[in-house]
Amino acid sequence: MGTRKKRVVIIGGDAAGMSAASVAKRKNPDLEVMVFEKGPHTSYSA
Amino acid sequence: MVARTPEEFRAKQQIDVRTFHEVIGIETRERRVRVVDRKTQNEAWEAYDELLMATGAVPLRPSVPGADASGIYGVHTLESGIRLRKVLDAQQPRSAVIVGGGYIGLEMAEAFLLRGMRVSLVDKAPQVMGTLDQDMARHVARALTDRGVHLYLDEALEAFAVRNGRVHAVITSQRTLETDLVLLGMGVAPNTQLAKEAGIPLGERGAVRVDRRMATEVEGVWAAGDCAESFHRLTGQPFYVALGTVANRHGRVAGTNMAGGDARFSGVVGTAVTRICSLEVARTGLQTRELEGLGRPFVSQTIESHTRAAYFPGSGTIHVKMLADAATGVVLGAQIVGQEGAAKRIDVMATAISAELTARQVSELDLAYAPPFSPLWDPLIIAARLLAKKIQ
């Protein structure tokens, strides 16, 4: 069993959520990044 | 408008984006969230090490009779904009009443005019565009009325008249305006229902309280975007603003910190820009109302000039207002209303304010000049020079 990856959960997939997701993953590619968005779309400008 | 799709985020960046998934609860001690898949209605717990609240804002709705009738729209998300567009195409309404004279209300007024609709705008304030001083907002109001918008300022919304479940008129303190459609542009409030239920402390205007690293007061929980507080660089105080630029900046800071880095949000100075019916409108810093509220002695200067050399084709009018500390001359705010080419000058002023330049220093800046771009003396230089003379 490997150790579980550190997991970042983001509530909301618009500008703030998606830019945070992108930056976090870029800074630490070993992170597991999950985004929950209640609507059909993600950010329009991240 | 959609820069990247969920599939692209997943494939290119290995970010697990789940649309139609709504978080309905947070247990901060157990570090887990309750998620509903809105397509299947299946619910599950998902564990986290770090959690970001990026729940955005919700449009303010009036609590007046008839407010839940059909025919009343808002445009606060891509979906709600698409929905309104479909209604306009299908029903071809001939008139609209807009409630609220802020950015959304004015931008929608223009959109309705372009469709050939009769447009009325109601606001309880004595001016449109409350983020401008009243004298500057008057230029915006004139541009709207010149285009045929019927402005009813100083008139409070009292009720919507409803027939068969559908709105047919807006009733203000002064009159009844028959209409095919109503658009709400009353501003937004941070969407913090989830945070509140989870016991995450709220601050300025009900936004999630954060420090400069975008950390909330609960271990492992961060907040960013329209649901979170900012702070104003000029006052050092918490400040709430719902803007895409700020949301992106918040997101970068929170994302860096959640990944183990150490980033700090550098605050806002209240910079915003828009265009309404070919009129460009921009503001930064503190306006008269805010300075009076702070009890801070200030001087101000308003000038009228040209966007380009007066003789150059396409040259138009520009109005600049600049405000500075009465004692030190440090620039505290600026507002610009004018024709094409006017508005982006606000970035010079946002920079000047961030660098704490005085009016005299702004008047001595080495700004670019050529006839297509500016008069010999840029309008900012003219305003700053006159403003500097008012400082002891």
ipTM: 0.93
Q: Exposed (0-12), middle (13-18) or buried (19+): which is B221, by Cβ within 10 Å?
A: buried
* Mutation target among A7, A14, A26 for the B interface, most CBs of B within 10 A: A14
Give the per-residue pLDDT at B2. 62
Q: Which regions of chain B are under pLDDT 50?
A: none
Q: Which residues of B touch A17 (CB under 8 A)?
A: 52, 54, 224-225, 251
At residue A2, the pLDDT reads: 53
Ordered by start, the domain boundaries in chain A are 1-46
In this prediction, residue A44 carries a pLDDT of 56
Spatial CB neighbours of A36, under 8 Å, sequence gap ≥ 6 = A9, A10, A11, A12, A13, B18, B21, B22, B23, B33, B35, B46
B21 vs A24, A28, A38: nearest CB: A38
Q: What pTM does this model have?
A: 0.88
Is residue B211 helix, strand or coil? coil
| Sequential DSSP letters for B278-291 | TEEEEEEE--HHHH
Residue B13 has its nearest CB partner, among A10, A14, A22, at A22
Q: What is the pLDDT of residues A1-46, one digit of tens each?
A: 456 789 999 999 999 999 999 999 999 999 999 999 998 887 755 4
- From the CB of residue A3, how many other CB atoms can be counted at a distance below 10 Å? 5
Residues of B numbered 260-319 whose beta carbons fall under 8 angstroms of chain A's beta carbons: which are they?
260-261
CB-nearest to B79 from A18, A28, A41 is: A41
CB within 8 Å of B286: residues ≥ 6 apart: B234, B235, B270, B294, B296, B323, B332, B333
What does the CA dihedral B97, B99, B103, B108 come to, rounded to 10 degrees?
Answer: -20
Distance CA(B142)–CA(B186), nearest Å, equals 21
Q: What confidence score (pLDDT) does residue B158 get?
A: 97
Q: Residue B3: what pLDDT? A: 66
pLDDT digits (tens, 9 = 90+) for B253-289: 999 999 999 999 999 999 999 999 889 999 999 999 9
Longest CA pairwise span in chain B (Å) = 69
Reading phi first (left if > 0) and then psi (alpha if -120 to 50, else beta), residue B353 is in alpha
Q: What is the DSSP letter of B330?
A: B
Domains of chain B with bracketed CATH: 6-55+191-258 (3.50.50.60), 59-188 (3.50.50.60), 272-389 (3.50.50.60)
Q: What share of chain A is helix, strand, coil (3-state, %, to 5)?
A: 30, 25, 50
**CA B81, chain centre distance (Å):** 16
pLDDT score at B1? 56
Q: Please tell me whether residue B358 adopts helix, strand or coil conformation.
A: strand
Tokens read off for B363: 């008047």
